[in-house]
Amino acid sequence: MLRWFSQVAALLAFNVKTMVERRGWVLSAMLGMALVVLVLVGVLSIGQGFDRTMRETGSPERAIVLRSGSDGEMMSIVLRNDARVIEEAPGVAKQGQTALVSPELFVIINLPKQSTGTDANVPMRGVTAPAFGVHDELKVVEGRNFAWGKNEVIVGRAAQREFRGLEVGKTLRLGLNQWAIVGAFTSGGDATESEIWTDAAVLQPAYRRGNSFQSVKVRLASPGSFQRFKDALTSDPRLEVKVQRETEFFAGQSRALRGIVVGLGLIIAVLMGLGAIFGGLNTMYTAVASRAKEIAPLRALGFRGLPVVVSVLLESLLIAIVGGAVGAIGAYLAFDGYQAATMNWQSFSQVAFAFAVTPGCWCWRSSTQRRWGWSAGSCRRFAQRGCRWQPAYGSSEHRASAAPSKSGAATRRPGAFLR
């Protein structure tokens, strides 16, 4: 066994030292693996970035109340009387004598995108005064807050980056109404930054919503008071509501898109990986003859077949690791932090987010490059085994195989010394 390992180590060292002689094939294989990893990590970073944005939006200290049976705010209706009942529930945090309960109206408007000029759905949220206590992470960083009772709005920084006409000081025309943009806000890079906020009392008549809202956001007295709060609402006969932690709600919002992105990433990885393998094989076939000159003497010196196979596989794995590392670094430099926007299929509105090359993407990258590296090495060794190994120089069979042909030239098959 010790001799077996020593043979593998010697052959692997020999393969590494001769890479310079085979630099064309080695660089081709590395480049193919780097491109596979670059595209795979880039695609996966979309899902990771969207998922991070949605998770950062939620807080364990907040709960969201929707109409029973609703999966999102667009399909929910909560009346003002329901909001008053929710304010009296146990477990609700208070600011002085005011319960931190925020009934919120959610509508969709159309605005042109900065990149293409085409219209996209943008969320506009009508809030009441307690909203700024419930969403305490929201900070106005330019201009001022909107005035209650007026057609004024504040816009998120992410919305300003992705959509046209949202600069502070401009006027937003929606239908027959005009809204003055008086400020811009941030909220820690979460999905709220993709929204436009205004007074719910002004937004309701503009969109003929009467006395209704889409959801009620509640700041809890503590994260542990959620169950008591939920039980009180679901057991109240006056209400037909669904209560979730905000973190759970937004995790569900990102699940559909993340599944699509991961599935797409797998398809792309398989197709490009197969392309990289066949490209490497095509290059490898031309190098079989030169590899025969290297491996045949080793076999003649007594190296066994299995150590040769293992050394070739380890060499391919090493090439895959180096190529994958180059691709991963390139993906991080190219994609991490890249700003984009996509459709949230639960609310049918655009959400701005940043691509995120996370440890999860690196794990996908590592497992993928190992699989393709091992597969390429296996295919390469399989092709090499297709040529029969001939005995060492000086044997009668060797002399016969090297005998001149009728044309007077010695004949030898490429790779004749490969087993």
pLDDT on residue 114? 86
Model confidence band, residue 294 (pLDDT cutoffs 50, 70, 90): low
Tokens 């943009």 found at: 181
Higher pLDDT, 218 or 276: 218
Higher pLDDT, 5 or 367: 5
pLDDT on residue 54? 67
Question: Does the pLDDT of residue 177 top 90, yes or no?
Answer: no
Question: Does the pLDDT of residue 395 top 60, yes or no?
Answer: no
Question: Does the pLDDT of residue 396 top 60, yes or no?
Answer: no
Residues 174 and 120: their CA atoms lie apart, in Å, by 14
Question: Does the pLDDT of residue 2 top 90, yes or no?
Answer: no
pLDDT cut 70: percent of the chain above it: 72
Residues 370 and 196: their CA atoms lie apart, in Å, by 46
Going by their DSSP bridges, the two strands 78-79 and 98-99 should be labelled as unpaired
pLDDT (tens digit per residue) in 249-282: 887 776 766 677 667 767 776 776 676 667 656 6
User: What is the DSSP secondary-structure string of 270-323?
Assistant: HHHHHHHHHHHHHHHHTTHHHHHHHHHHHHHTT--HHHHHHHHHHHHHHHHHHH
pLDDT on residue 129? 93
pLDDT on residue 171? 94
Residues 252 and 29: their CA atoms lie apart, in Å, by 40
Residues 343 and 412: their CA atoms lie apart, in Å, by 63
pLDDT on residue 364? 52
For the chain, the straight-line distance linking the first and the last C-alpha, in angstroms and rounded, comes to 22
Question: Does the pLDDT of residue 402 top 50, yes or no?
Answer: no
Q: Which of 65-69, 287-291, 343-347 is the least confident region?
A: 287-291
pLDDT (tens digit per residue) in 119-141: 888 999 999 999 999 999 999 99
Question: Does the pLDDT of residue 53 top 80, yes or no?
Answer: no
Question: Does the pLDDT of residue 6 top 70, yes or no?
Answer: yes
Backbone angles phi, psi at 13, to 5 degrees: -60, -40
Q: Shortest CA distance to 194 belongs to which of 169, 164, 157?
A: 157
Model confidence band, residue 362 (pLDDT cutoffs 50, 70, 90): low
pLDDT on residue 291? 61
pLDDT on residue 371? 53
Contact 153, 182 (CB under 8 A): yes
Model confidence band, residue 81 (pLDDT cutoffs 50, 70, 90): very high
Q: What average pLDDT score do residues 222-236 get?
A: 93
Question: Does the pLDDT of residue 399 top 50, yes or no?
Answer: no
Kindly report the average pLDDT of the chain as a whole number: 78
